[in-house]
Amino acid sequence: MRELYRFFKIFVIAIFLPLLFLFLYGGCANTATPPLGGVKDTIPPILLKSLPDSNTINFPLTSGKITLQFDEYVVVKEEQKNIYLSPPQSKRPIVKIRGKGIVTTFPEPLDSGRTYTLNFGESIQDNNEGNKFYQYTFPFSTGSIIDSMMLAGTLYYAETLLPAHNVVVAAYEDSADSLLTTQLPAAVAKSDAFGYFILRNLKRAPYSIYAIEDLNYNFMYDPPAERVAFLDSIFIPSTPLEKEMAEMIAVDSKDTLLALSRPSHIELYLFKEREERQFIKEAHREEERMAFLSFTGPNPQILKFEIEELDSLSYRLERNIVKDSVVVWVTDTTLSAIDTLTLNIEYMKSDSLGALSPFEEQFVLSPPKKKREKDDKEPKGPAKPQKREDLLEFKLVIEPTLVEQTGISLIFNSPLSKMVQDSILFTEKSPRGDIEKLEFTIESDTLWSRINYLKPKSKFRAGFDYNLLLPQGVFKDIYRHTNDTIEKSFTLPKDDKLSLLTLEIEEVTGDYIVELTNVTRDKIFRSYRVNRDTTLSFPYLSKGEYSIKIVEDLNGNGVIDSGNLKLKKQPEKVRLYALPDGNSVITLPESVEILQRVNIKDIFGR
């Protein structure tokens, strides 16, 4: 194939160079004709030879070098990201340009009797047009044989199932998890844009397989900033490397079908561990009467908490669902101004070895800086009415496409002390004009008590108009602020072009979260928690592409729990529902109603 490229390149030059010569020198008298740019070179560089040859044996342990000679001048791009040695060394290979060649040397001695692979990735390009040389690897051995086994797999982000690109996949000859933070791997590879990777030139021996996000390019795991993945069992390679094997096909980043057709022996799911050490990582005042404490881990054991300036009845504490933060609300309304808050807290803190022991800590928190007032030079106009000082302001959120599921959101800035629910008027108006008062419930959010959801006890009906009236004084917060009258009307979407997707969820034997997302999984259109066979409705969908993401919620807390490397605990499983043809993208046209049966047992194998 390389000889064919070379012949074609020489053929193009032989044909067009004489024509270009004739044009430039035979047409000099015609000064009105602009010069042409010539034929653009789109052919990648051609490797003419390597010194020594690839797969060479008995490579010197010191002072060895590898030279790649090309047919044209080349450059090396993003060397740190693309070029690496497997197994890696503490010092990276040194790569220099020499004429039309690349010379690689190694700044520290190589190990004896070891097979190495020098990976160039997509770093090599021609000097003029930037045409990329294909992803090149150069295997060699400091011993008398070349290890020739391989492992191919695919790497995904655990929460989204999107492919993880440019992540290090590492093989260790030992099974101790501590090696990830203290020793370099026995072999490494990097995942491509499709999350695909190939560990090359392995021994036929047992390996522990991990993936490391490796943000600092040291080929070690550095928590908690980096993500990690691991294979549950020891892996013994059984597939030898061969030139024509499907795993070794060179794939263009735009050729999705070919890329996804490559065989994958294993799948890894990249997750970020929760910090195991327990300490307070943040403490500040967000408002004059509110302080915030954030812990590194969930469920901190707080032994004592006090505020020097206040008695225990003058404040209250609020925690989120995973209990890794505490919000302190000063509830004493007799205090006209609050200067410094001195927080004394005793809790179980991790020492240098990770053991928990009682620890006392003090935080002196100043009030937040006041916002700067607007410049007096603003154009003068009608005077704006002054807000009363005890006004309770809040957000009233009504999303017509989601209101059937989520209800109406009432988002307050501070906790409520009183709610006169009987004074709230919620009505529906039929297309004929008949108005009926609706019964409803108001529930607090599981994360923050300041968020409440108002839902009618009856179902919303298409074509009906709905009106919510919140009279003055219905709500009072802990600071005795009350609301003004608010009234808002809405209807369900009426666009005939919108579509409906219905899922019949079958063989449910535990807790699951079912979400309809876009194909990049960064937007959730609707989410359900299910623990039995049921039918889920996803109405008011625009024409487009969607994915159905399903989470195996093992502890039923409604969130995706991460994994734990030390405990060999994988993150909670996230899977995509796939159509019979294997495609996980559901394409919805306009004005359709689609029914899909989703068998949980088939997806999760339970």
pLDDT computed for residue 499 by the predictor: 94
pLDDT band at 414 (very low <50, low <70, confident <90, very high): confident
- Residue 209 in any domain: the answer is no
- In this structure, are 332 and 410 located in the same domain? no
pLDDT tens digits for 565-577?
989 999 999 999 9
Give me the domain span that covers residue 598.
499-604
- Residue 306 in any domain: the answer is yes
CA–CA distance, 470 with 392 (Å, rounded to integer): 13
Q: Which residues have CB under 8 Å from 180's CB, separation 6+?
A: 170, 172, 210, 212, 220, 221, 228, 565
pLDDT computed for residue 35 by the predictor: 42
- In this structure, are 15 and 61 located in the same domain? no
CATH number at residue 292: 2.60.40
pLDDT computed for residue 13 by the predictor: 45
pLDDT tens digits for 112-124?
999 999 999 989 9
What's the per-residue H, E or C state across 190-216? ECCCCCEEEEEEECCCCEEEEEECCCC
Q: Which residues have CB under 8 Å from 221's CB, separation 6+?
A: 180, 181, 210, 212, 214, 228, 565
- Residue 192 in any domain: the answer is no
For residue 24, pLDDT over 60 is answered with no
For residue 538, pLDDT over 90 is answered with yes
CA–CA distance, 155 with 150 (Å, rounded to integer): 16
pLDDT computed for residue 325 by the predictor: 86
The count of other CB atoms within 10 Å of the CB of residue 115 is: 25
For residue 448, pLDDT over 90 is answered with no
- Residue 154 in any domain: the answer is no
For residue 14, pLDDT over 80 is answered with no
Q: What integer is the mean pLDDT of 26-50?
A: 61
CATH number at residue 55: 2.60.40.1220
For residue 357, pLDDT over 90 is answered with yes
- Residue 359 in any domain: the answer is yes
- In this structure, are 75 and 140 located in the same domain? yes
Write out the H or E segment, with its range, that includes residue 180: helix 179-182
pTM of the shown model: 0.81
pLDDT computed for residue 4 by the predictor: 45
- In this structure, are 530 and 458 located in the same domain? no
Pairing state of beta strands 394-397 and 101-105? Answer: unpaired
Task: Assess contact for 168 and 74: CB atoms under 8 A.
Answer: no
pLDDT band at 378 (very low <50, low <70, confident <90, very high): low
Q: Give yes or no for a cis peptide into 237 (omega within 30° of 0).
A: no
- In this structure, are 15 and 50 located in the same domain? no
- Residue 451 in any domain: the answer is yes
pLDDT tens digits for 229-247?
999 999 999 999 998 899 9
pLDDT tens digits for 155-168?
999 999 999 999 99
- In this structure, are 14 and 49 located in the same domain? no
The four Cα atoms 401, 404, 407, 408 give a dihedral, to 10 degrees, of: 50
For residue 382, pLDDT over 70 is answered with no
CATH number at residue 525: 2.60.40.10
**Span of 14-23, 369-378, 562-571, 589-598 with lowest mean pLDDT:** 14-23
Give the N- to C-terminal CA distance of the chain in Å, as an integer.
48
- Residue 251 in any domain: the answer is no
**What average pLDDT does the chain have?**
88
pLDDT computed for residue 387 by the predictor: 82
β-sheet bridge partners, residue 67: 51, 103
Question: Which residue type does 198 have?
Answer: I
Q: What integer is the mean pLDDT of 323-349?
A: 86
Percentage of the chain beyond pLDDT 70 is: 90
For residue 322, pLDDT over 70 is answered with no
pLDDT computed for residue 358 by the predictor: 95
DSSP 446-482: SS-TTEEEEEESSPP-TT-EEEEEE-TTSEEETT--B
pLDDT band at 563 (very low <50, low <70, confident <90, very high): very high
Q: Which of 321, 345, 365 finishes a domain?
A: 365
For residue 369, pLDDT over 90 is answered with no
pLDDT computed for residue 277 by the predictor: 86
Q: What integer is the mean pLDDT of 12-33?
A: 40
Question: Which residue type does 483 have?
Answer: N
pLDDT tens digits for 473-508?
999 998 889 999 999 999 999 888 999 999 999 999
pLDDT band at 175 (very low <50, low <70, confident <90, very high): confident
The count of other CB atoms within 10 Å of the CB of residue 63 is: 8
DSSP 475-516: EEETT--BPPPEEEEEE----TT-EEEEEEEE---S-EEEEE
For residue 370, pLDDT over 50 is answered with yes
- In this structure, are 118 and 53 located in the same domain? yes
- Residue 515 in any domain: the answer is yes
Task: Assess contact for 475 and 424: CB atoms under 8 A.
Answer: no
pLDDT computed for residue 430 by the predictor: 94
Total domains, the chain: 5
Nearest Cα to Cα of residue 209 among 181, 247, 237, 248: 237
| Residue 116 Cα distances to 83, 122, 161, 340, 343, angstroms | 13, 19, 32, 62, 57
Q: Which of 491, 510, 531 finishes a domain?
A: 491
For residue 285, pLDDT over 50 is answered with yes
Q: Which residues have CB under 8 Å from 379's CB, separation 6+?
A: none
- In this structure, are 19 and 48 located in the same domain? no
- In this structure, are 509 and 444 located in the same domain? no
Task: Assess contact for 83 and 76: CB atoms under 8 A.
Answer: yes
Q: Which of 450, 469, 491 finishes a domain?
A: 491
DSSP 383-417: PPPPPPTTB--EEEE--TTTHHHH-EEEEESS-EE
pLDDT tens digits for 68-91?
999 999 999 999 999 999 999 999
Can you read off the two tokens belonging to residue 480?
């005795």
Q: Greater confidence, 212 or 257?
A: 212
pLDDT tens digits for 519-532?
999 899 999 999 99
Question: Which residue type does 517 have?
Answer: T
CA–CA distance, 456 with 438 (Å, rounded to integer): 6
Report residue 577 CA to chain centroid gap: 19
Task: Assess contact for 93 and 105: CB atoms under 8 A.
Answer: yes
- In this structure, are 79 and 113 located in the same domain? yes
